[in-house]
Amino acid sequence: MSNIKEISIDPLTSLQAKLSQELKLEQQVPMYVVEKAQRDPSYLYHLLSSKNNPIWLRMLFNKPYEDFIADKHDIKKPKVKEIATEFSSSLLRWSMSGFKQSDHNVFLKRWNACKDCPHLIQPPANRLYHLGRRIISSNSDQRICNLCGCFAHKKCNIATESCPDSHPTLKGLTRWSEPKKIKI
Ligand code: SF4
């Protein structure tokens, strides 16, 4: 029998550590918040977008998420809800990767493809995207990809992300000229 004990890392504990680090908190994020963030990518998004705002963070920790969404009308529109969910899911994938960023040359190649892409559009006037602008720097491009809902400039810089569309001429590749991935 092996005397080496296998240590299983609880994904929740792992997410708790990453969230606590990203939110720059002196104490660990409460586990009920971590559980909610894992279940609800939109809630995770709001946590990350509020990382420099202690008052807002406290409110998110204490207040039910449903009450926090003031603009339910927009969220209920199918297209907006769909892309917002995709956008939030990408943030969850990013958090689970340890917030790993793309190599600069990879970023440039991706972003050049996005700039030539017909799917790059202005974001809808939706509260989620209004909040999203708060976490991208003012000199960053604020357009989104209308297939996945992500801020394209930000998405290009996230190592775990992939372009959702097929390359117009290169079979098996995305518009970023990268192999298509199966999303988690
Ligand atoms: S991620 Fe892909 S589909 Fe979306 S804007 Fe960029 S190149 Fe176009």
C-alpha distances in Å from residue 89, one per residue of 5, 40, 42, 68 = 34, 9, 8, 19
Q: Give the DSSP H or E segment for 38.
A: helix 31-39
Q: What is the DSSP letter of 67?
A: H
> Does any domain span residue 72?
no
- Tell me the CA–centroid distance for residue 109 and ligand 1, in Å: 12
120 lines ligand 1 (CB under 6 A): yes
165 lines ligand 1 (CB under 6 A): yes
Entry field: residues in the chain: 184
> Does any domain span residue 86?
no
> Does any domain span residue 173?
yes
Residue 1 burial class via C-beta count within 10 angstroms: exposed 0-12, middle 13-18, buried 19 and up: exposed
> Does any domain span residue 126?
yes
Determine the structural domain holding residue 121 and report its residue range: 100-184
pTM of the model: 0.58
77 vs 72: CA distance, rounded Å? 9
Q: Residue 148 in contact with residue 90, Cβ under 8 Å? A: yes
DSSP E strand boundaries for 36-91:
none
Which ligand 1 atom is at minimum distance from the Cα of 113?
A: 7
113 lines ligand 1 (CB under 6 A): yes
> Does any domain span residue 16?
no
Our count of domains for the chain comes to: 1
Which ligand 1 atom is at minimum distance from the Cα of 174?
A: 2
Instruction: For 110-159, write each residue's pLDDT tens digit.
Output: 999 999 999 998 877 665 556 556 555 556 788 888 887 778 888 898 88
Instruction: For 10-42, write each residue's pLDDT tens digit.
Output: 677 877 888 888 888 878 888 888 888 777 766
Which ligand 1 atom is at minimum distance from the Cα of 165?
A: 3
19 lines ligand 1 (CB under 6 A): no
Q: Which has the higher per-residue pLDDT, 101 or 171? A: 171
Q: Residue 117 in contact with residue 174, Cβ under 8 Å? A: no
